[in-house]
Structure 1
Amino acid sequence: MCSLVYPPKPKPGDRVAILSPSHGLPGALPLPHELGLRRLREDFGLEPVEYPTTRRMGSGSAERAADLHAAFADPGIKAVISTIGGDAQIAMLSHLDPELLRACPKPFFGFSDNTNLLAYLAMLDIVGYHGASVMTQFGRPGQMHPLTAESARAALFTSGEYELRAASEYGDIDRDWAEPGTFAAQPTMRPCDPWWWHNPGRVVTGRSWGGNLAIVSWLLMADKAVRPVEEYAGQVLILETSEELPSDEEVYRVLRCMGERGLLRQFSALLFAKPKTWALDRPTTPEESAAYRAAQRAAVLRALDEYAPEMMAVFDVDFGHTDPQLVIPYGGSIRVDGVAERIFVTY
């Protein structure tokens, strides 16, 4: 394993690449994209630079890889930020040039399907950043959530340890991005409980790995951007589920397969994100949302009981598809303090 690389950070005034490595959704739904770009300019002082496939629907894997290579190779680009996720990024990995990415490391920001790129960069020992996409976090209706903005700013511009703070309210109720009125009002928020700790009482520090649970399962099936099992010993597993709202049984089955692979027991701790519980085609009541979260937590605990009974786990951490979203270094250091029930990341 090579030495860990934290790429140099941008500073206000720098140019940053805005890419769609998964899906060119800005071309179909420009409103959140334009809002996100404006916030990057006005609130963060960065100059967004778009590439040929950023707003192009249906771009091929090789085309999207070429944009990524161009952004990493350009010395004037100081960070790379994804517009949104999707479901096709895994096919892009075979088009990537690892030597180019190693030679020109840049901070990369994204989540969901961008788990593919984050895992690929981690294979090269380049730290990425799970979270803060243009359309979802920077383009949040109303204004950016303060916790999201603070975390994104720290991850973009600073280095060193940062304490994650639990939200007292959260949002996961979607609205139509094609309607201009969507962006005039603040999102609907619901109260939420503190993070839920399992097997606390000790402190662990390790590199992070994981991301979106579905994408992790795909990477394992395709055997892409995955190290030998034993190389994950002592690391911190981070997992989140998407707007597809997987069933608790599906969550358990993925973790069971990770257990059978001998992978689950390698990790010293698990951070499991607050799951999204509401979708436009599957609206839920607060009671149904609570039941869904409880069932998903029970599925994870069932797998841990069978394959990693000593593992410390923290549930409902705010780094998934819910609002606010905290940025997590991917491949970087996380300190999980189960004694004080606090979490620290190194940006």
Structure 2
Amino acid sequence: MTTISYPPKASPGDRIAVISAGAGLPELFPRPFELGLERLREDYDLIPVEYPTTRKMGTTPRERAADIHAAFADPDIKAVIASIGGDDQITVLPYLDRELIRANPKPFFGMSDNTNLLVYLRNTGIVGFHGATVMCELGRPGAMNPQTADSLRAALFTSGEYELRPADRWNDVNRDWADPATFEAEPETRPGSGWTWVNADRVIEGRTWGGCLEIVGWLLMADREVSHDLSEYDGAVLILETSEDMPSATEVFWTLRNMGERGLLHRFSALLMGRAKTWSFERPNSPEGAARYGSEQREAVLRAMRDYAPDTTIVFDVDFGHTDPQLVIPYGGLVRVDGPARRITVTY
């Protein structure tokens, strides 16, 4: 069983590494990236430090691994944050030096394709933080979402418990980063629907595992960073969410079914399912289509869980992942799921 611990926290005035371990999209879309850097400086009093691949598309996995090593090895860097996600971070993992990173534990913030690095850190014994990339959350047009901003501040600078709360309003419709008008106002939001609880008759506490469902599926297919000793996951809290690629309900079921066939699903004490992203530039759903997509995904998850882990406590539409606001979840850290009280508390 891997021993997992929280790395030392950053403090205002510290230097924070900004890396592109997935895609170097700051090169293509500098506006949200620069806005995110400005907020790190002005709102969080942190000094962002960039690396050779941070603003460069088409870099090699070895080059990105070198930047990760540089960020973790530098004693003046107190935390690391991803610029954005991508789709090939899994190819970086073989080039990482686990002993170097283990000897220099630091908080890492990222999500989506950064699930790869989060699970790698967990297996190295370091708690990471699922959420808050520079371009998406810090670079949000108009202003950061207050819930995102507060959650990120607590995760960056504090070590205590933090209660997650359902969003009063939320959004998953994006605007074009290439259009300057995008940054003139905050995104439009719609009323929140709260969380939906299943088997909410117990209090559970466990360490998290999971992340972006598509990336989890890739890791399982590549047999990479997934323990062959499945007791590693006994009692853990599974966190899953889906990306702007918007996998069909059938694909979501297949991935979960195959996790069940591997013997994984029933090991987890609870499942926190992030609010589904129901809109993308490729699939600009109407409100009715978006609601249908979310409902079909929920039914697919329930079908798989009924088949393989029928007694698991499930919470749907938790506000983390690819929707806005984005609450930060400690990856490998502790989460308490209080079914009777309908409360979720994380330990940062």
TM-score by length of 2: 0.99
Displacement of 1:20 after TM fit?
Answer: 0.1
Displacement of 1:271 after TM fit?
Answer: 0.1
C-alpha separation in 1, matches of 2:87 and 2:171:
23
Displacement of 1:3 after TM fit?
Answer: 3.0
C-alpha separation in 2, matches of 1:210 and 1:246:
16
Give the aligned partner of residue 203 of structure 1. 203
Give the aligned partner of residue 323 of structure 1. 324
Give the aligned partner of residue 168 of structure 1. 168
Q: Which runs of 5+ in 2 are unaligned?
A: none
Give the aligned partner of residue 120 of structure 1. 120
Q: Secondary structure at the match of 1:210?
A: strand
Alignment of 1:233-252 (within 5 A): 233-252=234-253
Alignment of 1:174-323 (within 5 A): 174-227=174-227, 228-323=229-324
Give the aligned partner of residue 76 of structure 1. 76
Tell which deviates more after alignment, 104-113 or 285-294.
285-294
Q: Secondary structure at the match of 1:36?
A: helix
C-alpha separation in 2, matches of 1:282 and 1:15:
39
Tell which deviates more after alignment, 10-19 or 176-185.
176-185
Displacement of 1:297 after TM fit?
Answer: 0.3
CA contact (8 A) 2:61 2:95 kept: yes
Give the aligned partner of residue 63 of structure 2. 63
Q: Secondary structure at the match of 1:316?
A: strand
C-alpha separation in 2, matches of 1:5 and 1:310:
29
C-alpha separation in 2, matches of 1:237 and 1:60:
31
Q: Secondary structure at the match of 2:85?
A: coil
CA contact (8 A) 2:166 2:192 kept: no
Check if 1:23 corresponds to 2:13: no
Aligned residues: 347
C-alpha separation in 1, matches of 2:53 and 2:4:
30
C-alpha separation in 1, matches of 2:231 and 2:14:
39
Displacement of 1:2 after TM fit?
Answer: 4.2
C-alpha separation in 2, matches of 1:125 and 1:335:
20
Displacement of 1:290 after TM fit?
Answer: 1.1
Superposed CA deviations along residues 77-106 of structure 1, whole A, max 9, x for unmatched, are: 000000000001000000000000100001
C-alpha separation in 2, matches of 1:85 and 1:210:
16
C-alpha separation in 1, matches of 2:2 and 2:223:
20
Displacement of 1:267 after TM fit?
Answer: 0.1
User: Which amino acid letter does the alignment assign opposite residue 317 of structure 1?
Assistant: V
TM-score by length of 1: 0.99
Tell which deviates more after alignment, 292-301 or 221-230.
221-230
Superposed CA deviations along residues 160-205 of structure 1, whole A, max 9, x for unmatched, are: 1110011011111111101111111110111121100001010000
Give the aligned partner of residue 108 of structure 1. 108
User: Which amino acid letter does the alignment assign opposite residue 325 of structure 1?
Assistant: Q
C-alpha separation in 2, matches of 1:320 and 1:55:
23
Alignment of 1:150-165 (within 5 A): 150-165=150-165
Superposed CA deviations along residues 206-232 of structure 1, whole A, max 9, x for unmatched, are: 000000000001111111111121210
User: Which amino acid letter does the alignment assign opposite residue 321 of structure 2?
Assistant: G
Q: Secondary structure at the match of 2:92?
A: helix
Q: Secondary structure at the match of 2:75?
A: coil
